[in-house]
Amino acid sequence: MTARNGQLYQLSLGGVLGGIMGIFITRMFNGLTRLDPDTILEQVKHQFRQESPIEGAWIEHQTVPFQKFAVKTRVYYGGITRYEDDQLVQYQFIADAKTGSVLDIHRL
């Protein structure tokens, strides 16, 4: 093997290893990225405000595992309080931590 071929081999090997590491790191961090819970809460509050004013709202800042059928993810739990027909009504919601999508909401 000539010196030039050895350098090309090293460059090729370095490129392949760098590509593999890039894929590994990207997949590792994609599993860890989560939206800010306060941002998710603001989105949910915005949707509720389109119907009526809100009295209060909260969201947990710790994610918890959630599974519905075969789908597994991590979620934030939160709640909204508002008046409906002069009565204070509470709602609890579950939001996906990665996308912010509301997965479930129900009136308490």
Q: What is the pLDDT of residues 31-72, one digit of tens each?
A: 567 899 999 999 999 999 998 899 999 999 999 999 989 889
| pLDDT average, residue stretch 95-106 | 93
Q: For a pLDDT cut of 90, what percent of the chain falls above it?
A: 58
pLDDT digits (tens, 9 = 90+) for 15-34: 554 555 555 555 555 556 78
Secondary structure (DSSP) of the chain: --HHHHHHHHHHHHHHHHHHHHHHHHHHHHTT----HHHHHHHHHHHHHTTS-EEEEEE-SS-EEEEETTEEEEEEEEEEEEEETTEEEEEEEEEETTT--EEEEEE-
Say which CATH architecture domain 37-107 belongs to.
Answer: Roll (3.10)
* Mean of the per-residue pLDDT values of the chain: 81
Q: Is the pLDDT of residue 95 over 80?
A: yes
Domain boundaries in the chain? 37-107
pTM higher than 0.85 = no
